[in-house]
């Protein structure tokens, strides 16, 4: 007489079938976490539609400000940020995600970020706050140096004051230099 070991199957019942041991469960969880993390970190929203502006439900918007390379090899910002305003509907919050284009992450990294009003004055306190170390308040200091070879730096945008802002990005490059990237970003200000 042979005894069959009862194992957990894919459907969750016990009996003969596909075994899911502890090691394979951890492996699946790890692969899901690794695969989902970059996508979640770089989820980007386009400008809100009129329906989204009118929607009373609140949400968080993710606006990516991407550093890439232009046709002549110069470092520049993604063209979309030059042609579409960053606008936040009334009652919503936003995240500004400064990011190096995936294709150039071996060649460059974020070394500093600055957010200031278009008139050159500082942003209000607690308006823009870094989410990762350094969790700097851009109202306290305009240029925030980022340690290490950071490729992503998210900033919480609390939209307390309707104003237009300049976002400036400095990148470190593999050839040893620091480059100030074209700061021509459009910001439509607060809509409420």
CATH label of the domain that carries residue 144: 2.60.40
What's this model's pTM, rounded to 2 decimal places?
A: 0.69
Please enumerate in sequence order all residues whose Cβ is within 8 A of that of 98, keeping only pairs 6 or more positions apart, or say none. Answer: 65, 67, 110, 113, 152, 153, 154, 155, 167, 169
User: Do the beta carbons of residue 39 and residue 97 sit within 8 Å?
Assistant: no
**For the ranges 13-27, 28-42, 81-95, the one whose mean pLDDT is highest:** 81-95
User: How many domains in the chain?
Assistant: 1
DSSP-H helix ranges across 14-161:
22-41, 50-54, 80-83
Task: Please determine, for residue 188, whether its predicted confidence score (pLDDT) is greater than 70.
Answer: no
Domain that includes residue 163, residue range = 59-190
pLDDT score of 13: 42
What would the pLDDT profile of 97-144 be if each residue is shown by its tens digit? 999 999 999 989 999 998 888 777 888 888 889 999 999 998 887 789
- Does residue 53 lie within any of the structural domains? no
- How far from chain centre, in Å, is Cα 101? 12
Task: Please determine, for residue 63, whether its predicted confidence score (pLDDT) is greater than 50.
Answer: yes
Q: At 45, is the secondary structure helix, strand, or coil?
A: coil
């Amino acid at each position: 007489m042979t005894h069959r070991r009862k194992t957990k199957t894919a459907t969750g019942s016990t009996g003969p079938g596909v075994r899911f041991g502890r090691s394979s469960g951890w492996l699946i969880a790890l692969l899901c976490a690794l695969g989902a993390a970059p996508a979640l970190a770089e989820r980007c929203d386009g400008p809100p539609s009129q329906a989204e502006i009118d929607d009373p439900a609140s949400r968080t918007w993710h606006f990516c400000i991407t550093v890439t390379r232009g046709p002549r090899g110069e470092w520049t910002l993604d063209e979309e940020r030059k042609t579409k305003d960053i606008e936040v509907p009334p009652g919503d919050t936003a995240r500004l995600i400064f990011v190096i284009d995936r294709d150039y992450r071996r060649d460059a990294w974020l070394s500093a970020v600055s957010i200031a009003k278009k008139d050159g004055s500082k942003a209000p306190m607690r308006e823009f706050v870094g989410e990762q170390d350094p969790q700097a308040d851009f109202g306290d200091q305009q240029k925030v140096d980022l340690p290490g070879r950071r490729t992503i730096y998210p900033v919480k945008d609390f939209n307390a004051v309707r104003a237009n802002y300049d976002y400036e990005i400095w990148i470190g490059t593999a050839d040893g230099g620091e480059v100030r990237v074209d700061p021509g970003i459009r910001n439509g200000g607060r809509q409420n």
